[in-house]
Structure 1
């Protein structure tokens, strides 16, 4: 695509998303996450920051004190600013304290999916060379330790480490301090570690705080996993930046969300799979109590959007983000929320489409303070991901309507999104291909009303059953990556260069 069409710059987005009494804003005015968090704690030290289903809770002053104590224990174990720390845990107050402590002492947090197996953990560990790991499962901690070539500190989320030595310097991170490494990838090669700074994370949290009118009076119902930027980068960071309260739900269920809504929740963030389950059960009316429902990580079908609206009156707000950019585009809080679109750029964000010069759809390119600077240990991938003038290539195809709302119309990167999680075809294909009876394999995403897309494997093999392939994958892949359907074929469709024609797999 040779021509680049500029559309909807930051000034237009600001006018659309900001409250009427806010004329302009600097999303980096507080410089970093820890500084913004501490400002909120000082404003209201007795405010409840987080609650769990069992009734446990933590106040702002307690979070400040406990996170400082955890930081001291980590420092006593030898960790210093800039060291990388794996964090792999289900939602809990202990996990929240550990996450906050790491940021306050300028460690770089590396979230790891709690469902990852040995191969996936090994890659993350070897790519990031962490000094320590905080995990909620001894077996996972053992896998991290075995994957490391250097001694590594392993501890549970309560961080029971000996104390002593110096006190770490806290809350001095600035906008350029590396804060988070989240792994993603394209359709080929190993997963890449996107390095996000404290400024990247603050800019996104502050922009959605303003755009969604997030305030200390809010209580977020958070049933998302906290190893994913949806739950961690938006749910946790956004709540702490806004001074709001978090209701932690360890495992999503429609009943748990309904109970939390009836107990005083004001906001719910979910993926389309969650909304599908809510819409097709008896608990949907409970969402009527909430002031805001947000959907992301995968497209929300227009039919599901309408079903939710008719069932509980909620106009779900869709938004757009990526691991490399956090949240950048959103439907408006005030104004029309258009089903099938992700809205317009948030404050500080610029968006353009790389087209053929004839208009219509093009690759979405982004620029702004929440956009990362590059991938860890991968200068080639970093260079390929940015244009010559510094815009990030998302790999997604989009199109603007007459009102400037962006619709995602396809993906130039062959990515499957199932239940809000990214599934990279090459990774699944390599696992299936290692079965001794498999000649070759390819996977594609089949539309699913519940999951958005489900993984379908196309396999050239002799003497295997579908159950054999599914069982093989189940032992080696996280649940959301496993194929739910296997089709045996004589040969895979390929082009003249020998590349698989994924567009023909499901035809």
Structure 2
């Protein structure tokens, strides 16, 4: 049975969950509360604006061209490679209109990774931002996508036609019927920080459920005249979900940043009077930087931390400086499961509460369910937010899904006395010793209290068949990296750690390897 203490968010009933597909839900929504000429997208670099009706009409035209000219149909795959750009959003919804799968590629992925994603998914059509024009030919040749099936967005090209030209003169094409809400709408490949990348199959029903539920949670605190800053990649599952929830469900203007450097982000918050900002931990920490002191944050009412855990000292300092509460959530490419609302103040220091309509349990290493607050185990989840499975990987699907439908996330979590969930990191990155978990972030927080410390990372190393903690440390500028300092840090830290947490070894590194989203690549240090 579910954990008795795990509490769900209290939301009003979600509307229009019965649409046949996401395009219909977004653009034929009888409950829409804003005008169709409402500006929903802004390109920060150019100040170009796009209205709700322009996204609707442009996506319908592009989808009709895919159907009429290329015969694109349900279960075909069309890929998009672009930074955060208004054209990319229209193209993606055009793919959704056809019932084909959106293969949303990461603009920071390596060429090898992109080729793998295209080949693995059998992509038929590729739409790339003009910035990637030179790469497009290589990708097409190596992945088996015909050059005549490549289109450009976000600029002009001498080699390939634009998606806008491709969409012209198609005439009337009826919208294809999608046979089931459980059909796959989107493919996103996992980041591969702890294992090989896998294609995550997200269905129309998955997205519609979360749009409805998160819209119900956030709706009361969102103002129609507000602005949301989209710094996280739109092509990531969470980025696309943010767009569908805010721009097209709640009607808030979303400001897209194509190349989000820190100073540009700060000025965009001020210039566009941003009210809502989903940010990764590094950017939230940056709000404490002296460069941020002259920025007008008066419109900002909501910060939502994404991608990784935010360390408590940073959270506390930013909240005090800006006079707001930072919200959290928990999800992965495979779905969003835990969320926090601004009215649930007693859960603000956690990842939040279970989204209504989902069932979860925390499974201890012994195989038993957690029954008391604070017990750490793997988070298992089932319900309409959970993805359909990994593309063409029945072997992995069999391992990660239980017979009764629970998805084993691989993440360690616990629940507190308020019924809120805290996420402690990946199970594969932690160490199970003497019946307890050694959590890297908890060890790192102790290491970081040493006065010479800039940043640290803990990884498991195998010594005589046993996993033990090892730390890699980045010291502050101007501090000499000596063996004596390492010994001092080791003694300082181990005096504060429990017996099972104590470091076996410690070493210097110049920087902690991270993804652009702020996730630590621990496997690169093992």
TM-score, with normalisation over the residues of structure 1? 0.76
CA-CA distance at 1:407 after TM superposition:
0.9
1:362 alignment partner in structure 2: 377
Aligned partner (choices 291, 303, 314) of residue 301 of structure 2: 291
Aligned partner (choices 259, 278, 281) of residue 272 of structure 1: 281
CA-CA distance at 1:481 after TM superposition:
10
Aligned partner (choices 75, 81, 87) of residue 80 of structure 2: 87
Q: Does 1:38 align with 2:47?
A: no
Counterpart CA distance in 2 for 1:332 and 1:183 is 28
Structure 1 stretch displaced more, 392-401 or 338-347: 338-347
Q: Does 1:399 align with 2:408?
A: no
1:111 alignment partner in structure 2: 104
Question: Cα–Cα, structure 1 residues 391 and 482, in superposed 2: closer, same or farther, change >3 Å?
Answer: closer
Question: Cα–Cα, structure 1 residues 449 and 37, in superposed 2: closer, same or farther, change >3 Å?
Answer: farther
CA-CA distance at 1:252 after TM superposition:
2.3
Structure 1 stretch displaced more, 355-364 or 301-310: 355-364
CA displacement 1:100-137 (0-9 Å, x = unmatched): 11111212111111122231112111110011011011
Q: Does 1:371 align with 2:386?
A: yes
Counterpart CA distance in 2 for 1:329 and 1:264 is 28
2:450 alignment partner in structure 1: none
Question: Cα–Cα, structure 1 residues 187 and 50, in superposed 2: closer, same or farther, change >3 Å?
Answer: closer
Counterpart CA distance in 2 for 1:266 and 1:124 is 35
Could you tell me whether the CA contact under 8 Å between 2:376 and 2:412 is conserved in 1?
Answer: yes
SS in 2 for 1:341: coil
Counterpart CA distance in 2 for 1:235 and 1:25 is 18
Q: Which runs of 5+ in 1 are unaligned?
A: 418-424, 426-443, 451-465, 486-501
CA-CA distance at 1:185 after TM superposition:
6.6
Counterpart CA distance in 2 for 1:96 and 1:162 is 15
CA displacement 1:316-357 (0-9 Å, x = unmatched): 1011111111x2101222121545410111122222101234
CA-CA distance at 1:30 after TM superposition:
3.5
Equivalent runs, 1:184-195 vs 2, <5 Å: 184=190, 190-195=196-201
Could you tell me whether the CA contact under 8 Å between 1:109 and 1:179 is conserved in 2?
Answer: yes
SS in 2 for 1:199: helix
SS in 2 for 1:289: coil
Which protein has greater RCO, CA pairs closer than 8 Å, 6+ apart? Answer: 1
CA-CA distance at 1:189 after TM superposition:
5.9
Question: Cα–Cα, structure 1 residues 400 and 82, in superposed 2: closer, same or farther, change >3 Å?
Answer: same
Equivalent runs, 1:430-445 vs 2, <5 Å: none
CA displacement 1:123-170 (0-9 Å, x = unmatched): 111110011011011123123202223536111124132756674433
1:336 alignment partner in structure 2: 345
SS in 2 for 1:413: helix
Could you tell me whether the CA contact under 8 Å between 1:195 and 1:375 is conserved in 2?
Answer: yes
Counterpart CA distance in 2 for 1:482 and 1:347 is 27
SS in 2 for 1:241: helix
Aligned partner (choices 22, 31, 40) of residue 49 of structure 1: 40
1:203 alignment partner in structure 2: 209
Q: Does 1:212 align with 2:218?
A: yes
Question: Cα–Cα, structure 1 residues 449 and 307, in superposed 2: closer, same or farther, change >3 Å?
Answer: farther
Could you tell me whether the CA contact under 8 Å between 1:218 and 1:265 is conserved in 2?
Answer: yes
Counterpart CA distance in 2 for 1:188 and 1:268 is 28
Counterpart CA distance in 2 for 1:481 and 1:260 is 21
Structure 1 stretch displaced more, 123-132 or 352-361: 352-361
Could you tell me whether the CA contact under 8 Å between 1:27 and 1:348 is conserved in 2?
Answer: no
CA-CA distance at 1:37 after TM superposition:
1.2
Question: Cα–Cα, structure 1 residues 144 and 241, in superposed 2: closer, same or farther, change >3 Å?
Answer: farther
Aligned partner (choices 398, 409, 413) of residue 383 of structure 1: 398
Question: Cα–Cα, structure 1 residues 484 and 142, in superposed 2: closer, same or farther, change >3 Å?
Answer: same
1:156 alignment partner in structure 2: 152
Counterpart CA distance in 2 for 1:354 and 1:161 is 51
1:130 alignment partner in structure 2: 123
Q: Does 1:98 align with 2:91?
A: yes
TM-score, with normalisation over the residues of structure 2? 0.73
- The number of aligned residues is 432
Counterpart CA distance in 2 for 1:482 and 1:233 is 19
Question: Cα–Cα, structure 1 residues 251 and 149, in superposed 2: closer, same or farther, change >3 Å?
Answer: closer
Counterpart CA distance in 2 for 1:253 and 1:338 is 31
SS in 1 for 2:343: coil
CA RMSD of aligned residues (A): 3.6
Could you tell me whether the CA contact under 8 Å between 2:52 and 2:248 is conserved in 1?
Answer: no
Structure 1 stretch displaced more, 338-347 or 41-50: 41-50
Question: Cα–Cα, structure 1 residues 27 and 323, in superposed 2: closer, same or farther, change >3 Å?
Answer: farther
Aligned partner (choices 115, 134, 138) of residue 139 of structure 1: 134
CA displacement 1:230-251 (0-9 Å, x = unmatched): 2122234542122222111212
Q: Does 1:247 align with 2:236?
A: no
1:224 alignment partner in structure 2: 232
SS in 1 for 2:317: helix
CA-CA distance at 1:74 after TM superposition:
2.2
CA-CA distance at 1:188 after TM superposition:
7.1
Counterpart CA distance in 1 for 2:517 and 2:251 is 33
Could you tell me whether the CA contact under 8 Å between 2:346 and 2:418 is conserved in 1?
Answer: no
Structure 1 stretch displaced more, 89-98 or 210-219: 210-219
Counterpart CA distance in 2 for 1:372 and 1:6 is 22
Aligned partner (choices 351, 367, 374) of residue 360 of structure 2: 351
Question: Cα–Cα, structure 1 residues 197 and 39, in superposed 2: closer, same or farther, change >3 Å?
Answer: same
